[in-house]
């Protein structure tokens, strides 16, 4: 378990435990004039079929605002090379 652990301050150890695995998609947004916004969404699709979406908004001070995750029950379509593609 040497590779799955790391040493914290005061020689305390913590281990990385795999909770779920699967695929992911990241997509951003364009306004109606075609200008891309800085906000983007992260969609996680785990191997058990669970789907979650997180919205990430960059702030001015180089921090990120991440919304509370939401479970997805509907399809999500994106533009991929100007063609619509269903990712979920």
Residue at 13 is within a domain: no
The H helix count followed by the E strand count for the chain is 0, 9
Domain tally, the chain: 1
Residue at 30 is within a domain: yes
pTM: 0.71
Residue at 14 is within a domain: no
pLDDT on residue 30: 86
Residue at 79 is within a domain: yes
CA gap 27, 39 in Å, rounded: 9
pLDDT on residue 2: 60
Residue at 74 is within a domain: yes
CA gap 84, 77 in Å, rounded: 6
pLDDT on residue 57: 93
pLDDT on residue 58: 93
Residue at 80 is within a domain: yes
Domain extent at residue 58: 21-86
Per-residue pLDDT of the chain (88 residues), as tens digits, is 566 777 777 888 888 888 889 999 999 998 888 888 889 999 998 888 888 999 999 999 999 999 977 888 888 888 888 889 888 8
pLDDT on residue 22: 92
Residue at 2 is within a domain: no
Residue at 33 is within a domain: yes
């Amino acid at each position: 378990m040497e590779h799955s652990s790391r040493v914290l301050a005061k020689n305390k150890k913590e281990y990385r435990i795999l909770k779920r695995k699967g695929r992911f998609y990241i997509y951003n947004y364009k306004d109606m004039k075609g200008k891309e916004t800085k906000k983007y969404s992260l969609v996680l699709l785990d191997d058990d079929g669970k789907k979650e979406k997180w919205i990430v908004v960059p702030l001015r001070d180089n921090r990120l605002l991440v919304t509370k995750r939401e479970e997805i029950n509907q399809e999500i379509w994106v533009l991929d090379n100007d063609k619509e593609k269903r990712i979920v």
